[in-house]
């Protein structure tokens, strides 16, 4: 049950008390009947969502922790990393450290050689990967969508060639399920003779959408020829180790050239990010609906 504590009903929590000792002290002092009720996670329960938000706020807080020795109040302990003072919340610091180490490993993979030599807007790429999810909300729907976008980004979609790595005995002689002629690699999904016209249509509509978003959000009217000045990123000729193409955008990579091109007209970084986000979401949704789901 909820209990309205007053100023006189406060409890001092010291480093020698643990959470459960304090909780039981509160229950005993107020003669409460406590019933534990399991709440399903990510079920839009208001109190559970509030607890998630409080935990996330604390996790991203800029508060810098300093430890005081209760046995000697003259001693303060300041957290250091490699001899350098940590000037942010230790939890946030560890999160950033873990993220950067993970990104470094991903960035240096052989498969990403192409993206090391071509300028990628990594911030917008990973924002698209997370679907611009709020830092205070967690849901199974968003988790599944993120996992699916990762499969696009890493070319891990269950194509026939990918499935051969798991069960070669079952898929040894299998070809593309649409054209029944070509080997179905990740690239072939978007260049198959049965699908290519659809992908071209999505590309053209996404370009028109980009121009519309610039006009709607920034009141900037731009001719279609402005985007044609970036010919490589609109081609469907996929080069694993060469220049970027439209298939790389389908995968979820945001070319820095495109970001700079939009920002040169919009002249507002946050507005540019919003435009690119809508543009990328449109491509992902349409590709899933009209290309990948049809193939499946």
- If asked whether residues 28 and 95 sit together in one domain, one would say no
User: Among 108, 124, 146, which residue terminates a domain?
Assistant: 108
- If asked whether residues 22 and 60 sit together in one domain, one would say no
71-85, 116-130, 276-290: the lowest-pLDDT one = 71-85
- Which two three-digit tokens encode residue 93? 């610091």
Binned at pLDDT 50, 70 and 90, residue 260 comes out as very high
pLDDT in tens, 208-232: 999 999 999 888 898 888 888 887 8
Q: In the chain, which ranges are E strands?
A: 67-68, 76-77, 80-81, 84-85
The average pLDDT across 144-162 equals: 92
- If asked whether residues 167 and 246 sit together in one domain, one would say yes
Q: Name beta bridge partners: 76.
A: 68
- If asked whether residues 166 and 218 sit together in one domain, one would say yes
Distance CA 236, CA 238 (A): 6
8 found inside a domain: yes
- Residue range(s) defining the domain that contains residue 254: 160-295
Binned at pLDDT 50, 70 and 90, residue 15 comes out as very low
- If asked whether residues 167 and 211 sit together in one domain, one would say yes
- If asked whether residues 206 and 275 sit together in one domain, one would say yes
79 found inside a domain: yes
Q: pTM of the full predicted structure?
A: 0.72
Binned at pLDDT 50, 70 and 90, residue 3 comes out as very low
Distance CA 270, CA 266 (A): 10
pLDDT at residue 90 above 80?
no
Domain count, the chain: 3
- Which two three-digit tokens encode residue 262? 């939009």
pLDDT at residue 8 above 60?
no
């Amino acid at each position: 049950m909820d209990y309205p504590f007053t100023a006189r009903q406060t409890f001092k929590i010291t480093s020698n008390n643990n959470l459960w000792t304090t909780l039981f002290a509160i229950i005993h002092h107020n003669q409460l009947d406590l019933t534990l009720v399991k709440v399903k996670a990510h079920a839009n329960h208001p109190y559970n969502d509030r607890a998630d938000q409080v935990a996330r706020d604390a996790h991203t807080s800029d508060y810098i922790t300093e430890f005081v020795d209760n046995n000697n109040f003259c001693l303060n302990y300041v957290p250091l990393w490699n001899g350098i003072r940590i000037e942010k919340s230790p939890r946030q610091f560890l999160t950033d450290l873990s993220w950067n180490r993970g990104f470094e490993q991903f960035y240096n993979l052989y498969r990403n050689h192409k993206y090391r030599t071509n300028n990628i807007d990594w911030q917008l790429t990973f924002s698209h990967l997370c679907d611009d999810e709020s830092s205070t909300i967690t849901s199974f729907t968003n988790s599944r969508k993120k996992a699916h976008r990762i499969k696009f980004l890493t070319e891990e979609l269950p194509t026939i060639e990918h499935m051969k790595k798991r069960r070669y005995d079952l898929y040894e002689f299998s070809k593309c399920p649409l054209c029944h002629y070509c080997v179905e690699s990740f690239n072939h999904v978007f260049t198959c003779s049965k699908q290519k016209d659809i992908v071209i249509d999505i590309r053209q509509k996404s370009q028109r959408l980009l121009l519309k978003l610039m006009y709607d959000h920034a009141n900037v009217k731009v001719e279609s020829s402005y985007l044609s000045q970036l010919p490589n990123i609109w081609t469907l000729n996929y080069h694993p180790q060469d220049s970027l193409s439209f298939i790389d955008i389908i995968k979820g990579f945001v070319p820095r050239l495109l970001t700079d091109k939009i920002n040169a007209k919009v002249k507002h970084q946050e507005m540019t990010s919003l435009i690119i986000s809508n543009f990328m979401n449109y491509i992902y949704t349409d590709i899933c609906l009209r290309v990948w789901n049809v193939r499946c």
